[in-house]
Amino acid sequence: MAEGEFALVREHLGAALNKPAQGWAPVGDHELYSMLADAAAQQRDEAILRQYAPLAEETARRYDHKLYQAIAHRAWGVAHRLAGEYPQAEARLNQALHLFNSLSTRWQIGRTLFELGELAAAQVNATKAGDHFTHALAEFEEMRAAPDAARTRTKLEPI
């Protein structure tokens, strides 16, 4: 997602947070905060992650929404990695992976394995990074998630 696209996502989701619900199926704040935290994680924006990850986590916990709890854990994991807080990053990413595995959400599993690969690469552990990227690639290929698979292959090339 390009920077301009992310700004538009934040603008539209932020506006949705301030709008009263309309229709029979309103979008909950937990959904919007999860989307904002997830978009910030994809964009690698630590400041926005630190703004929305706590809100995503708190609202997901309030509603006992396992998928959004896992997304919040992953967002925190990315924020911690970006800050060089590697043990906290690993703990959060593993919590996310555990929840995604329990939900059998393959794409989310692949994305989290990719983040674990990024974490291992940041710690200059090529073997561990390669293992995580290889497992992520398998998930993406199984689902035919071509853009994610291509991005993951790019990470595996120098390893």
Reported as a single tens digit per residue, the pLDDT across 88-97 is 999 999 999 9
Q: What is the mean pLDDT of residues 141-157?
A: 97
pLDDT band per the 50, 70, 90 thresholds, residue 126: very high
Lowest mean pLDDT among 8-17, 28-37, 98-107: 8-17
- 141 exposed, middle or buried (CB, 10 Å; 0-12, 13-18, 19+)? middle
Q: What is the mean pLDDT of the chain?
A: 89
Domain extent listing, the chain: 1-85, 105-159
Contact 56, 75 (CB under 8 A): yes
Q: What is the mean pLDDT of residues 108-131?
A: 98
Q: Could you tell me the two tokens for 140? A: 């993406």
Of residues 11 and 47, more confidence is placed in 47
For residue 25, what pLDDT is reported? 42
Specify the pTM: 0.85
Reported as a single tens digit per residue, the pLDDT across 72-81 is 999 999 999 9
Q: What proportion of the chain, given as a percentage, has pLDDT over 70?
A: 83
For residue 8, what pLDDT is reported? 62
